[in-house]
Amino acid sequence: MPPDQTHVPFVKHTEYIQKVKLEEDVYTAVSAAIMISSAVLPIATGAVADFHQPLIMLGATLLGVSNLAYSRRYLHGEFMYGRMTLVSACMVAGFNMVTAAPGLEDALIGWTLIGFSSTILIGGFNDRPTARDNAAYAFSIYQLSDAALLLAAAFTSTSAEAPMPENAAAIASFGLLVAAGIKSSQFPFSGLFLRSMEGASPNSALGYAGISAHVGIVLLAGTMPIWFQFEWARTLMALTGALTVAQSGIIANVRADRKGGVASAASATLGALFIITSQGYTDLALFLSLGHAAFRMNQVVRSPGVITDAHKWEAALGQDKIASEKVIDVAWKTGWALNRISTDYFRLPDLYANVDLKQPLVFYNAKYTQAVVTAVVLVLIGAFHLPQVDETIGDLMKMNGLAAAGLLSLNIFGSTALVRFLLGNVLDFGRFRTRDRGSDKAV
């Protein structure tokens, strides 16, 4: 071997490491600034009117910043570090926007932002077919939740063009229950958290154990004067929570994967919080939500090391002290039967597979072109959620409910197809590979 090839100087390695560290430090600082400012600005400008709101935003921001600090070590060197941290910051900002919103119309933007952020985080590793399908499924369900919140907003706001019907409060209450129940993975959408665990552990912890998971409780607590007056609403909320406790609680004890078990357990506990909220104990539900979010987030981020933890406990206490108890056959079979409700029936329809070309697109091969195409698709999808569009659809809901339902259904179907196309055909993991000099092919 020639002498010049027997030694590799460490200079280039050092330069690369310093470059990566600097980039990650910048992304971390910007993400932290987004999280903190989303809580500080509403308080500083006097936009919050209730003393609960600053406390809720403080708790959410504290969880978000703590998760960011953990991600700075856990995701160090990850090629999508910047995207993951910025999108996570947007999720926290969306949560704080919902919390500080003076009305439901103002909460719509934050509610939608949480859904978009969740979809991007779930589908981050889109080279996996399950990640693509589960992210698209979650997006479609979040779109349904957005439509339900828009329904509630439409029937709580006055408009000269569309007069308010007599049963407006009842319709708004139903919309609130559906919107909150979906976001919190309540029955029959109790498998949402299970399908949302495709991303990196810190992202899963922040979204489906902490921020996104509990925004439904925050919404219901802030809109209690609307729905609490109806006995059927309180009964429906408690019944939904009880069904979720039963279904997800059993599933959590039979799941073989740690993150799936924690996801089901979080859904079940949220069902119990829904029952507490339905009885009017909103302060207690909010207080328990903070503790539950912190506890479940810790479980999710520790899930990759569950085997190591078991070995340590076994070495300290003995295998017989930590061995799992035998599950009764009836309980085990019941758990998997309930689990199949989510896996077999509440999933992405097969027709969405038709948008997957199953071959690379030929009109581009550069990562920058992919970024442009991705931005265009997201803008097209997001345009439907602009405040002017929401206001128009809200008026249409009061004047012609059938036409509004058709328009919303078309949006859910079309936007989900675009998201599935984006994850399956546009975003190519080859964009992260280095390229040979003088060659356009990735290596």
The alpha carbon of residue 251 and the mean position of all alpha carbons in its chain are separated, in whole angstroms, by 21
Q: Mean of the pLDDT values across residues 267-285? A: 97
The alpha carbon of residue 272 and the mean position of all alpha carbons in its chain are separated, in whole angstroms, by 20
pLDDT-derived band at 4 (thresholds 50, 70, 90) equals low
The alpha carbon of residue 85 and the mean position of all alpha carbons in its chain are separated, in whole angstroms, by 14
Q: Mean of the pLDDT values across residues 189-218? A: 94
- Non-local CB neighbours of 397 within 8 Å, separated by 6+ positions: 150, 151, 154, 155, 162, 404
| Burial category of 336 from C-beta neighbours within 10 Å (exposed 0-12, middle 13-18, buried 19 and up) | middle
Contact 186, 240 (CB under 8 A): yes
pLDDT at 435 over 70: no
pLDDT at 356 over 70: yes
Mean pLDDT of the chain: 89
> Residue type for 30, please?
V
Q: What six digits make up the tokens of 24? A: 């990650």
pLDDT at 46 over 60: yes
Rounded (10°) angle between helices 104-122 and 387-399: 110
pLDDT-derived band at 13 (thresholds 50, 70, 90) equals confident
pLDDT at 39 over 80: yes
Residue of 191 and 359 predicted with greater confidence: 191
DSSP H or E run through 324: none
pLDDT-derived band at 368 (thresholds 50, 70, 90) equals confident
pLDDT at 57 over 70: yes
Cis bond before residue 2 (omega within 30° of 0) = no
pLDDT for residue 309: 81
> Residue type for 150, please?
L
Q: What six digits make up the tokens of 192? A: 């949402």
d(CA 62, CA 40): 12
- Could you identify the residue written with the tokens 């072109």? 369
pLDDT for residue 429: 74
pLDDT for residue 7: 65
Q: 263 to each of 74, 192, 380, how far by Cα in Å?
A: 20, 9, 32
pLDDT at 423 over 50: yes
Q: Give whichever of 288-297, 311-320, 345-354, 364-373 has the largest mean pLDDT.
A: 288-297
d(CA 100, CA 248): 31
Q: Mean of the pLDDT values across residues 184-196? A: 94
pLDDT-derived band at 209 (thresholds 50, 70, 90) equals very high
Residue of 426 and 249 predicted with greater confidence: 249
Contact 126, 199 (CB under 8 A): no
- What is the widest separation between alpha-carbon atoms in the chain? 88
Q: Mean of the pLDDT values across residues 264-276? A: 97
- Non-local CB neighbours of 144 within 8 Å, separated by 6+ positions: 178, 182, 412
Q: Mean of the pLDDT values across residues 64-78? A: 94
Q: Mean of the pLDDT values across residues 55-73? A: 96
Q: Mean of the pLDDT values across residues 267-289? A: 97
Helix extents (H) in 197-352: 201-205, 211-222, 224-227, 231-252, 258-278, 282-302, 306-317, 319-322, 329-340
Q: How far apart are the first and last CA of the chain?
A: 25
d(CA 283, CA 292): 14
Q: What is the DSSP letter of 363?
A: S
pLDDT at 440 over 50: no
Q: What six digits make up the tokens of 427? A: 């975003």
Q: Mean of the pLDDT values across residues 335-358? A: 85
pLDDT for residue 255: 87
Render pLDDT for 150-176 as a digit per residue (tens, 0 to 9): 999 999 976 656 677 888 999 999 999
Helix or strand or coil: residue 46? Answer: coil
pLDDT for residue 436: 42
Q: Which residues pair with 435 in a beta bridge?
A: 442
Find, among 215, 211, 244, the residue nearest to 87 by Cα: 211
d(CA 72, CA 118): 19
Helix count and strand count (H, E) for the chain: 19, 0
pLDDT at 68 over 80: yes
Q: Mean of the pLDDT values across residues 299-306? A: 89
